[in-house]
Amino acid sequence: MIDGSTTSRRHSVDAIVERLSALPGKANLFNPYAGFDAEIEGADAPVTRRRNLGRYLAAMANRDVRDLWLGEAPSRFGARRTGVPFTGDGRLADLSQRLGLDPPLARATRGTLPTLESGTSREIWNAVPDPLPLFWNAVLFHPHRGVLPLRNRTPTRTEIAEHRKVLEMIVAIFAPRRILCIGRMAQRAADGLGIPATYVRHPAQGGAIRFRAGVTAFLDD
């Protein structure tokens, strides 16, 4: 880590959240830490998501992080709503309990909405070991199809490059010993970080069985 002191780590976490909130979104790239979707949430939603991410990272900074699980980008039901990678509305209570967070991480979307979850998130959470790895994404904003803002798309190499500095900050703060790259985009993002990185098949589009096998082999190594 950058520094052993709790204060220094807290400042480093705050710098990451501030950087994310300041990065510009695009017509087809939603910044959940600065913008909000009036159809499902209020104007205070980005504040809630920034707070959630800060509390999550601060809690992980107090742990010995061995593994970083790196995904591609938030899904429409995941960090786009909550601000925390791999974590949809329905996983906030579980994650909060496992990290000992009281009060728990807050929901940014309206409470009457169903707590939908992507198949990818479900597969990842079913494979998560104890102790928890650190969750992160190559791109922290939600890539979508413009006129279809809730349709996921694969992030571009340019978008990954634009978020590279944030990933480097995460690696500097938490000093993970190895990285699990979920999908080829995540593998490309991890290239050059100087940490052993293992590719596993992304669980989407028929990849669940190979994903599970890859995670099992990674954890057994």
Rounded Cα–Cα distance for residues 166 and 174 (Å):
12
* pTM of structure: 0.92
| pLDDT, tens digit (0-9, with 9 covering 90-100), for 46-81 | 999 999 999 999 999 999 999 999 999 998 899 999
**Topology annotation, domain 4-220:** Uracil-DNA Glycosylase, subunit E (3.40.470)
pLDDT confidence tier of residue 7, bands split at 50, 70 and 90: low
| pLDDT, tens digit (0-9, with 9 covering 90-100), for 206-221 | 999 999 999 999 999 8
Neighbours of 43 (CB within 10 A): 9
Rounded Cα–Cα distance for residues 172 and 61 (Å):
11
